[in-house]
Amino acid sequence: MIITILLAILIIGLLIFSHELGHFVAARKLGVAVEEFGFGFPPRIIGLRRLDTTDIKKISSNETLEMKLIDIKDDQNNRKIIKETLYDKIQETNRVVTKKKWQVIYGPKKIEDNNKNTIYSLNWIPIGGFVKIKGEQGDKKEQKDSFAHRKIWQRTIILSGGVFMNIILAFLLISLGFMIGLPTSLNDTLPGPARVKNQAIQIAEVQPDSPAATAGLKMGDFIVSVDGQKFSSVSEFQAHTKPKLNKEVTLVVKRANEEMTITLMPANLNNDGQGVIGTWLVETGQVSYPWYYSIWMGAKTTVLITGQIILAFFSLLKNLIISQQIPSDIAGPVGIAALTGQMAKMGFIYILQFTALFSINLAILNFLPFPALDGGRVMFLIIEKIRGRPLNQRIENLVNNVGFLMLMVLVALVTFRDIWRLTAHGLKGLFGIF
């Protein structure tokens, strides 16, 4: 349980940190000052900041000797007395140079000075990170390095940097997955360089009120054997079960690295006199590619998955508006922890795949035109462009605060539902999932 919780915190932290890193990089590239970039959430444990001081550095020097006649007079014996002075001239060429040193900042104290360098901080709440951009609340408009001073297109890029970085993270994880071997459906023709291992039959969907549902089969289960026989294709499996109408069939399935034996009786669900168990099966395997081709497949897969998730989000929002209910597919922090525990049991590559999908979901969710989200703030910039002048800052902040409160209420409701679902069969179920 503890390992699962730590793993869930690590994954969520990685996604949030990469998101904030996107804002940080975009702001710095556009010349906007970043006051603090922190790992974890405040209060601050310790921070580092670069201090720029100036010093004079001698480049070269030139020394010359000069003798000057000061006075000439006669002494008592009419002899000439010449008085001379010797001058030693040293001419130096200097240059003002900038010296860099690091200042250590202990604790959450507020720094009041004119130093414009970023504070890099380590904070007490070890989940993700944050970035504090100068002028992001609409203040300091008169200062050129302020977010509020910049043009609309520049502010849009900075606000979109987090979403872009989450997509980049997903691309990198998927590319790495294809180098190692990513679980993939084998129903379609694979490119030439593909290498396949651990080929198996997997349950992609379970039909309600079917023999499979009654027996407890679940989406994601791998079918190891049927009546003691092992099959590598769906057609072989179906050829074995169709003649078994109303006869017992013994399946050995693998779920999260644990094998279990399930007995069921195929039924005439298609009204054709043949036995089916009520599942949609796919042939899967761990598919890998050479590193150069993995990068291409990573980019291609990221684009395809992003498009599919966008369509799924629109469908989800439509159903949410029509039914006014939270769909069962939405999971909160507790549900995510449970999913992380399941992925951990299946292996590292499944955690990698889950993190990539989660990153894309976070990117799309954050770019929805809803107050308090990046997409909502971009929406305000579009309104500002259309109006020709910015909205009242107080009104914008109020709308964002209300939107944030609504999101927190939604998270609380989803979390409560996740806990209720996990504890439906007693508290044992809550810990059993880990």
Establish whether the linkage from the previous residue to 266 is cis, with ω within 30° of 0: no
Phi, psi of 201, rounded to the nearest 5 degrees: -105, 130
Q: What is the pLDDT of residue 432?
A: 36
Q: What is the pLDDT of residues 164-223, one digit of tens each?
A: 999 999 999 999 999 998 888 776 677 778 888 888 888 888 888 888 888 888 888 888
Residue 426 to residues 173, 308, 340, 422, 429, Cα–Cα distance (Å): 37, 36, 21, 8, 6
Cα-flanking dihedrals φ and ψ of residue 268, to 5°?
-85, 65
Cα-Cα-Cα-Cα dihedral sign, residues 133, 135, 137, 138:
negative
Q: Mean of the pLDDT values across residues 248-255?
A: 87
Q: Cβ distance 99 to 40 under 8 Å?
A: no
Q: The tokens 């799309």 sit on which residue?
A: 364
425 confidence band (pLDDT: 50, 70, 90): very low
Cβ(250)–Cβ(241) under 8 Å? no
pLDDT at 156 over 90: yes
Query: Does residue 430 or residue 241 have the better pLDDT?
Result: 241
Q: How far is CA 44 from CA 36, 39, 106, 203, 317, in A?
A: 11, 9, 8, 47, 38
Place 160 in a pLDDT band, splitting at 50, 70 and 90.
Answer: very high
pLDDT(328) > 60: no
Task: State the Cα–Cα distance between residues 276 and 425, nearest whole angstrom.
Answer: 30
Q: What is the pLDDT of residue 295?
A: 93
- Non-local CB neighbours of 241 within 8 Å, separated by 6+ positions: 226, 249, 266, 275, 276, 277
Query: What is the pLDDT confidence band of residue 108, given thresholds at 50, 70 and 90?
Result: confident
For residue 187, the model assigns a pLDDT of 67
Q: For residue 23, what pLDDT is reported?
A: 94
* Tokens representing residue 102 in the block: 């690091």
Lowest-confidence segment of 46-55, 338-347, 379-388 by average pLDDT: 338-347
Spell out the CATH class of 195-288.
mainly beta
Determine the distance from the C-alpha atom of residue 312 to the mean position of all C-alpha atoms in its chain, rounded to a whole number.
Answer: 20
Show Cβ contacts of residue 29 under 8 Å, excluding neighbours closer than 6 positions. Answer: none
Residue 324 has pLDDT above 60, yes or no: no
For residues 27, 30, 31 and 36, what is the CA-based torsion angle, rounded to 10 degrees? 10
Crossing angle of helices 2-29 and 348-366, in 10° steps, is: 50
Angstrom distances, CA of residue 96 to CA of 57, 93, 181, 390 = 6, 10, 56, 43
The pLDDT score that the predictor gives to residue 434 is 32
> Higher model confidence: residue 323 or residue 352?
352
pLDDT of residue 430: 35
Q: Where are the domains of the chain?
A: 175-182+290-432, 195-288
Which is more confident, 144 or 396?
A: 144
362-373: per-residue pLDDT in tens? Answer: 898 888 888 878
Q: What's the pLDDT at 30?
A: 93
Q: To 10 degrees, what angle do helices 348-366 and 152-180 make?
A: 160
| 3-state SS class at 74 | strand
Check pLDDT > 50 for residue 427: no
pLDDT at residue 158, as a whole number: 95
Residue range 395-424: average pLDDT?
68
DSSP codes joined into one string, 29-50: HTT--EEEEEEEEEEEEEEEEE
State the Cα–Cα distance between residues 117 and 279, nearest whole angstrom: 59
Closest residue by Cα to residue 195 from 284, 286, 301, 292: 286
* 96-125 mean pLDDT: 81
The token pair at 366 is 């954050």
**Residue 431: pLDDT over 60:** no
Contact 128, 13 (CB under 8 A): yes
- Taking the C-alpha atoms of residue 107 and residue 24, their distance in angstroms, rounded to an integer, is 22
What is the DSSP code (8-state) at residue 368?
S
Which comes out higher in pLDDT, residue 100 or 16? 16
Amino acid occupying residue 82: I
Q: How does pLDDT run across 269-320, given as a tens digit for each residue?
A: 888 888 888 888 888 888 899 999 999 999 999 999 888 888 877 776 776 6
